[in-house]
A = this chain, B = another copy of it.
Amino acid sequence: MTQAGGAQTGGAQAAAPEGADPAASVLAAIRFDANGLVPAIAQQHDTGEVLMMAWMNPDSIRETLATARVCYYSRSRGGLWRKGETSGQTQHLRELRVDCDGDTLLLLVQQDGVACHTGRRSCFFRAARDGDLVEIAAPEVSPEALYGQAGCGHPHG
């Protein structure tokens, strides 16, 4: 199965033998958008907390299924984004699900530490209340501790 996608493949772990892509059946069920991407929701597998949403391309899905560590596609960087490779906040895949029309993924994960680059467990820490957005969760760790003094987290590009 040939898919468009400018990113490099994810190294030896994600490479399949010639003619035998172990992710072929899963990829065939996914309807990638005009940019070759599909949105993926990450949910903590046991508590049900929705942690974040980011994007995947075929190569990131292959790598995620092969390694059981979640790898997204960064739209801002234009390449594979191995969640936690800078911060250590890895997502371990427990199950990948595909929705009814194949255009959204749900990743059940074990999140090491925090998912959000702000240091919060979930990226969805602002709630609409009485017409305003209010913060409903505080950082559990400082961005500096996650990314060094530059404090340069990675939004979901």
A contacts, CB < 8 Å to B: 22-26, 29, 39, 41, 43, 47-50, 52-53, 65, 95-101, 103-104, 106, 116-118, 120, 123-129, 131-133, 136, 155-157
- Is B131's CB under 8 angstroms from A23's CB? yes
A29-B133, A41-B50 given as contacts; is B128 within 8 A of A100 (CB)?
A: no
- Is B41's CB under 8 angstroms from A53's CB? yes
- Max chain B C-beta neighbours (<10 A), residue from A39, A99, A132: A99
Cβ–Cβ < 8 Å partners of A95 in chain B:
127-129
Residue of B nearest to A116 (CB): B100
Residue of B nearest to A64 (CB): B128
A-B contacts besides A25-B132, A26-B128, A95-B129, 9 pairs, CB < 8 Å: A23-B131, A25-B131, A43-B50, A97-B127, A99-B124, A99-B156, A100-B116, A100-B117, A100-B120
Our pick among B23, B99, B127 for the contact of A123 (Cβ within 8 Å) is B99
Cβ–Cβ < 8 Å partners of A129 in chain B:
95
A99 to B100: give the CA distance in the assembly, Å. Answer: 24
- Max chain B C-beta neighbours (<10 A), residue from A24, A53, A116: A53
A-B contact pairs, 9 of them (CB 8 A): A41-B41, A41-B50, A43-B50, A97-B125, A97-B126, A98-B127, A98-B133, A99-B124, A104-B156
Cβ–Cβ < 8 Å partners of A41 in chain B:
41, 50, 53
